[in-house]
Amino acid sequence: MPARPALFRRLTAILGALLALASHAAPLEFNLPAHPSAAESLLAFSRQAGVEVLYAYDDLRDVPAAAVVGRFEPEAALQQLLQASGFTARRTLRGKFLVARATPRPGSLGGVILTPAGEPAPSLPVALAGTRHRTHTDGAGAFIFPDLPPGIYRLYTGGPGYRLLEQAGLAVTAGDALVLPPLRLQAATDVTVLDPYVVHERHDRLPIGEGVGAAPRRAAGNLDLPRTTDNALPFTIFSREQIARSGVVQLNEFLQREILESTTTRPPEQDGTASGISAGSSNLRMRGYESDETVVLVNGRRLPETFTRDPGVLGAPDVNLVPLALVQQIEVLPASASALYSGNAVGGVINIVLAPDADGTELRTTYTNALGGFDAPQSSVSLSHGQTLLDGRLRLRFNATHTRTAPPVERDLGYQRARLARTPAAFAPRATPNIVRADPAAPGLFGPGSAGFTSVAPGADGTGGIAAFQGREGRYSTDLFDGPGGLATSLNSRDYLYGREQQRTSWYGSAVYDAFPWLQLGLDATYGRTIVHRGYDIFSGVLDLPAGSPLNPFGQDVAVALHETTPALGQDYNEAQLDSWSLVGGALLKLPAGWRLTLDTQYARNLARYRGLVGVDSDRWQQLVDDGRYQPLRDTQVHGPPPEFYDRALIYYGGPGRFVKLGDYHTLEGAVRLTHEALPLPTGEGTVNLGTDYRLNRLAAYTEEPRYADGTPAAEIVRWSGRTLERMSVFGEIQAPLVPARWLPRAITAVETDSAVRYIISAQSNETSLAPTFGLKVDFRGGLALRGSFTTSNRFPTAVMSRPLAEGGDGGGGSDLISIFDPLRQETYLTAARVAINPDVRPESAATQTAGLVFTRGRTHRFRASLDFADTTKTNEFIMLEPAALLNLESVFPDRVRRDPAGTGRITALLTGAANAARRHSQNWNLAAEYAWPGFAGGRLELRGRWVWFQRYERRLFANSETVDQLRRPDGTAPGLLRHRLTFGAAWSAPAWGFGVDGHYLGARTLPVSERPAQGNSHIKPYWQFDVFAQTDLTRWLPREPEKFRLSAQLRVNNLSGFAFPKYANDISGAGVQAYGDWRGRTYSISLTGNF
């Protein structure tokens, strides 16, 4: 077998360079043990010596290195390290060290293209994806590519009025002619197709390569290389058609259904406990890892992070900022892949590829609502327009999208009422105030021998004296609070939101201009504003009413537990305004010999403003009672508080009516890429992508100002510093045959590789790293292929982007009230949570190995199946100790769980934040199968299924602690793990109409021991869901069918089966169920799409 091409070896050596600060010739102290990989030893040598070493990582990865211990000059130490390795080192003129050691016969592809009526289709463009090969059909519909290097090709053809026709897996062998059977086009009036990509003739304007299944490569377009499900790396791809069929109004809901690991976690728009400024897609977890271990890209560029409730801590990107109408496909790689995509790609990568430029106008609207007898609508309206000017040299595109969502509330679902029904009546805030005598030894509230507790009658205004309590002796109020509005933030309210009310408007525009035949310029701009409302704040408290108060009819000291709200401020007083801007500029240069140079930059800004209430000052609240200005013995659901409550007790963000800035986040990115999509190599035609990128993140400083209504500070005014982080990297990727096709045995048609390396440089030394990736795929005759990969990722600690200039003793940030279930006390209540800053957190390393097989067969009956195994090992694992995990690990982190009294009392504060675990090891299987029959019953039949099975998932918190099996005996540090997850579907479509069914299965989930008493079981039961949809072309029902207008409709019903969510007693929402997806249960969705 021949050696790897010299060009690739040199490129790998350059990209594997280890940068250091300076070169030292003086003797230094070394401590380098013997290592099985000289590549890793050289990395450690470079760090200890502070010198720069150039070498080919792949050549030295499996070469052993000798030990170097003691004081040596760097050159002598390096020679000792490499002794008996077959390699030597020499110093260059610039003081660096260099470690080194001493075209096939073409085939052809041809065929005939037919119209839907079976007639020849002349003058249609035909292209081979990922190459520069283009041609047109002749008068008989025939085409031929006469001189093709051996390999596997994907063919595209189409034209005005036709659906894009694709033929994949076309194997061209050396010296042979591959003649395809006649290919019949399908009319573009099929209801399942929305804006198909058509291969347009490009003349001499920029004959650059098309992305597979996506758009032509263009300036400011998709930066990533073409990806398919048949790559050496195990990509999963969701098409525009699948997204349209889902009937959703926001992208995150689609991903939550399809990325099976994202189902058990709710994003902010479905989480009533989330803060108003939280907007990230925090549910997008892959392979059991956290959302910040998933890299989210749009056209190959990072989607910026969003804000969280914790000052200075950034959250996951918000995919809902991307309008559904602009999405062409979504590429998902469930593997560690820092070499390809940089950053924290431990769980995997999601690349949202935008649709190509196309002339025409599309108006799309979707409306969904519940079928359970209540109103919780979601809707979206989107207008898109594309136009070509200047004889095709200028292409413009515009999109405007507006979405609005209203979640269900407690009065609709009844989960909290069911919880209270199981809770014994006690002294606690409820619908109306509950009252108890302050001294248990005192007489009853209504005289000797009477009960010592009572409650306020519904509707009472507090002026009726003792008579107002007639019939309520010894009776607690036990119902939920029912305030004046329709929305509220408290779990103890009938108006509690299972999500939040929000509306978003986004604007998108792009321009692509062919300035010269060799230069293309592109510009994309996006702006979006999200308005979030969470309803009324409800404040809970226990107030003392002394016997001598004129407000007290009982003649003795009493305590009053009550809820209070703020009707005078209005339901929408608490409002978050989230603005996001993005500007992408790029230039694409056509260089000689098929090379392309891309210059690209992106600026993005996220700004969060908030108007709302911080809370209530309990001392001032009590003082109002003592002064006789606040009557607690009234029905607070009906009668609002006095003006003094607003003026003296409430604490406002910045002051009444003010919008304050809670976050201002900027990112600036730049990239230079040199690519060749059809580079002739000794082993065959390959794709090369080389480049460098730079990223700057900056969170601006801001001031935390809790103030009373008169403007006086309610607490210390905290000024939070801003922070700027910078990273850059050098990377390279090559996709190429491993050996020439003529050297392969007849049973093997191709051996393809995908190799990449990325060197990341940062001002923080613990973030500098080298990440290689390698994938291999062997194609056999008959449609079978074997593939495997080794991918790595270096995950950086999530940076705390700001700190208070005068920190408290624990170094924590601002606190927030959250709902928890206390496993020690078996109670649900509110407590304070804040982030504790841990400066000793180290970066983690992850490596994923995959092995799988792919089988593709047939043309008329097309079947594809893949089975992939993934094994990931992480060291120094970076974990976020969220409230639920802390409660299960209180014995491990007792200092982070503060109780009063210590040991058994209620929790007064949770110190969340980051820590390092010793190791995590996971193994999972992914099985996918697809079947398509284009000629079934006059339409197209499609069957699909995807199954994820976790075979192993283990975590060790500390080096000397026991390894915990998180699947069989979880400890709560890896919540949401399910051993089995399955999604499947069937659809049939024709030009006039279509229908289909989708299904989801989520297996049983084993619970930690601490959660089992409340659950009454060791696990959460499995869950099934079935959805159906029907589509039709409405154009045919118009009085006269227009030539350039098409109107289609879809009706979808989700959760048709109506199965209730399984019980989960410790769910953070207090609902007592594990909600898999939409809280609304059974829903319907109506979509209308008009194309002009």
Superfamily name and number for 251-407+505-532+576-612+657-796+811-1091: TonB-dependent receptor, beta-barrel domain (2.40.170.20)
Examine the pLDDT at 1071 and tell me if it is beyond 90: no
Which H helix or E strand runs over 256?
helix 251-258
pLDDT band for position 70 (50/70/90)? confident
Examine the pLDDT at 214 and tell me if it is beyond 60: no
Q: Residue 76 corresponds to which amino acid?
A: A
Examine the pLDDT at 198 and tell me if it is beyond 50: no
Strand-pair category, 575-590 with 453-455: unpaired
Q: Residue 670 corresponds to which amino acid?
A: G
Q: How is residue 1080 written in tokens?
A: 């609304």
The reported pLDDT for the residue numbered 560 is 97
Examine the pLDDT at 13 and tell me if it is beyond 50: no
Residue 852 near residue 869 (C-beta atoms within 8 A)? yes
User: Beta-carbon neighbour count of residue 876 at 10 Å?
Assistant: 16
pLDDT band for position 360 (50/70/90)? confident
CA–CA distances in Å: residue 1003 to residues 94, 264, 378, 976, 1062 = 61, 11, 29, 11, 11
Greater model confidence, 40 or 504: 504
Examine the pLDDT at 72 and tell me if it is beyond 80: yes
| Cα–Cα nearest to 736, from 237, 211, 224, 151 | 151
pLDDT band for position 10 (50/70/90)? very low
Residue 2: φ, ψ to 5°: -75, 160
Mean pLDDT across the stretch 8-28? 44
Examine the pLDDT at 775 and tell me if it is beyond 90: yes
Greater model confidence, 986 or 150: 986
pLDDT band for position 330 (50/70/90)? very high
pLDDT band for position 734 (50/70/90)? very high
Q: How is residue 74 written in tokens?
A: 């760097």
Half-sphere exposure of 617 (CA within 13 A, CB side): 22
- Expressed in angstroms, the distance from the first to the final Cα of the chain is 57
The reported pLDDT for the residue numbered 210 is 32
Question: Of the given ranges (103-117, 459-473, 1054-1068), which has the lowest mean pLDDT?
Answer: 103-117
The reported pLDDT for the residue numbered 217 is 63
The reported pLDDT for the residue numbered 755 is 93
Q: Which residue ranges make up each domain of the chain?
A: 6-100, 107-218, 251-407+505-532+576-612+657-796+811-1091, 410-496+537-570+615-653
Max mean pLDDT among 163-172, 841-850, 996-1005, 1030-1039 falls in 996-1005
pLDDT band for position 482 (50/70/90)? very high
The reported pLDDT for the residue numbered 767 is 63
Half-sphere exposure of 541 (CA within 13 A, CB side): 19
Greater model confidence, 361 or 313: 361
Max mean pLDDT among 35-49, 415-429, 463-477, 971-985 falls in 463-477
The reported pLDDT for the residue numbered 207 is 27
Examine the pLDDT at 418 and tell me if it is beyond 70: yes
DSSP class per residue in 506-554:
EEEEEEEEEEETTEEEEEEEEEEEEEEE--B--EEEEEEE-TT-TT--S
- Three-state secondary structure of 1051-1077: EEEECCCCCCCCECCCCCCCCCECCCC
Per-state percent for the chain, helix, strand, coil, to nearest 5: 10, 45, 40
The CATH class for the domain spanning 6-100 reads alpha beta
Mean pLDDT across the stretch 221-235? 85
Mean pLDDT across the stretch 778-787? 94
Residue 161: φ, ψ to 5°: 90, -5
Examine the pLDDT at 294 and tell me if it is beyond 60: yes
Examine the pLDDT at 781 and tell me if it is beyond 80: yes
| Cα–Cα nearest to 224, from 573, 735, 666 | 735
- Tell me what the pLDDT averaged over the chain comes to: 84
The reported pLDDT for the residue numbered 335 is 82
The reported pLDDT for the residue numbered 189 is 38
% of the chain residues with pLDDT over 90? 44
DSSP class per residue in 146-183:
EEE-SEEEEEEE--TTBPPEEEEEEEE-TT-EEEPPPE
Question: Of the given ranges (200-204, 291-295, 717-721, 820-824), which has the lowest mean pLDDT?
Answer: 200-204
- pLDDT tens, position by position, 934-952: 888 888 899 999 999 999 9
Order the strands of the 650-653 sheet from edge to edge.
613-616, 650-653, 706-707
Mean pLDDT across the stretch 9-25? 38
> Topology of 107-218 in CATH?
Immunoglobulin-like (2.60.40)
Residue 742 near residue 104 (C-beta atoms within 8 A)? yes
- pLDDT tens, position by position, 98-122: 888 745 678 999 999 998 878 888 8
Give the three-state DSSP class for 619.
helix
